[in-house]
């Protein structure tokens, strides 16, 4: 066919995009093809939600209304512990992906359970921190700073909670069907979701907690 010859010849018809390595057309319909990219674009729109919350926090972060300041209420050792937990949960999810690649179902399930437990510990410590703050009178209603703080950090915590729910659903699906192509695609989407939340947390611990205490 002359049309394929025309497309394949880079001199006649140069490509202005990066050709994908190891591009195989077959199997794309089974693996979703566009699903990974589509999910990625969802994550980018989610990133913009967090960007607006970060901007809100940035604008309101000094509006204490005579209430508590970050220096008085943030406990950095607790935040450091939470950061470490989330970071370790990233690598445990990474191990789940490696196990998936090697076709080891038991390994995938083991690492998913580890990731889910670490995520639950993260949410638990965050709720403990929120409980302490509220007991001290540092409630979301106290000042604009605290409203913005609770909105930003709790939105992240809510995302982590849904990630844990998703891990639970994946464990059920893996138990029922094993590592078939659809489950592998779902695991890859969940991987992006989980690692994305860790990226958001970098912004939270740097701009909210560390810079807050410095100020």
What residues make contact with other proteins under the rule CB under 8 A?
A: 17-24, 26-28, 30-31, 36-37, 40-41, 44-45, 47-48, 51-52, 54-56, 58-59, 76-77, 80, 83-84, 87, 90-91, 94-95, 97-98, 101, 103-106, 109, 177-181, 184-185, 188, 192, 195-196, 198-199, 202-203, 205-207, 210-211, 213-215
In the block, residue with structure tokens 């958001």: 200
DSSP state, 91? H
Distance from C-alpha of 47 to C-alpha of 63, rounded to nearest angstrom: 25
Our CB check for other proteins shows the closer of 142 and 186 to be 186
Shortest distance in whole angstroms from residue 26 CB to other proteins = 7
Shortest distance in whole angstroms from residue 145 CB to other proteins = 14
Shortest distance in whole angstroms from residue 151 CB to other proteins = 15
| Cα–Cα distance list, 174 to 182, 194, 195 (Å) | 10, 18, 20
Shortest distance in whole angstroms from residue 47 CB to other proteins = 5
Our CB check for other proteins shows the closer of 1 and 24 to be 24
Our CB check for other proteins shows the closer of 64 and 109 to be 109
Our CB check for other proteins shows the closer of 63 and 141 to be 63
In the block, residue with structure tokens 């409630």: 139
In degrees rounded to 5, what are phi and psi of residue 61? Answer: -70, -15
- Spell out the alpha helix ranges (H) of 61-143: 70-73, 76-101, 105-135
CA angle 115, 203, 47 (to 5 degrees): 80
Our CB check for other proteins shows the closer of 55 and 165 to be 55
* 119 CB neighbour count, 10 Å cutoff: 24
- Using alpha carbons, select from 202, 178, 162, 215 the residue that is nearest to residue 79: 202
């Amino acid at each position: 066919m002359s049309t394929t010859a025309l497309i394949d010849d880079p001199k006649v018809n140069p490509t202005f995009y990066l050709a994908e390595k190891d591009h195989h057309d077959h199997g794309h319909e089974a693996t979703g093809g566009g699903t990974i990219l589509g999910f990625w674009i969802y994550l980018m729109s989610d990133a913009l939600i967090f960007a607006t919350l970060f901007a809100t926090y940035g604008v309101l972060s000094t509006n204490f209304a005579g209430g508590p300041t970050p220096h008085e209420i943030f406990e950095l050792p607790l935040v450091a512990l939470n950061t470490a937990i989330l970071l370790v949960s990233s690598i445990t999810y990474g191990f789940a992906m490696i196990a998936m690649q090697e076709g080891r179902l038991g390994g995938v399930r083991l690492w998913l359970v580890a990731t889910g437990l670490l995520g639950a510990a993260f949410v638990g410590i965050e709720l403990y921190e929120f409980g302490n703050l509220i007991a001290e009178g540092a409630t979301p209603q106290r000042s604009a700073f605290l409203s913005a703080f609770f909105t930003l950090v709790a939105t992240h915590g809510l995302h982590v909670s849904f990630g844990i729910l998703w891990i639970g659903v994946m464990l059920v699906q893996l138990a029922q069907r094993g590592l078939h192509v659809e489950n592998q695609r779902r695991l890859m989407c969940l991987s992006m979701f989980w690692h994305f939340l860790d990226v958001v947390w970098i912004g939270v611990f740097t701009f909210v907690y560390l810079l807050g205490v410095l100020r």
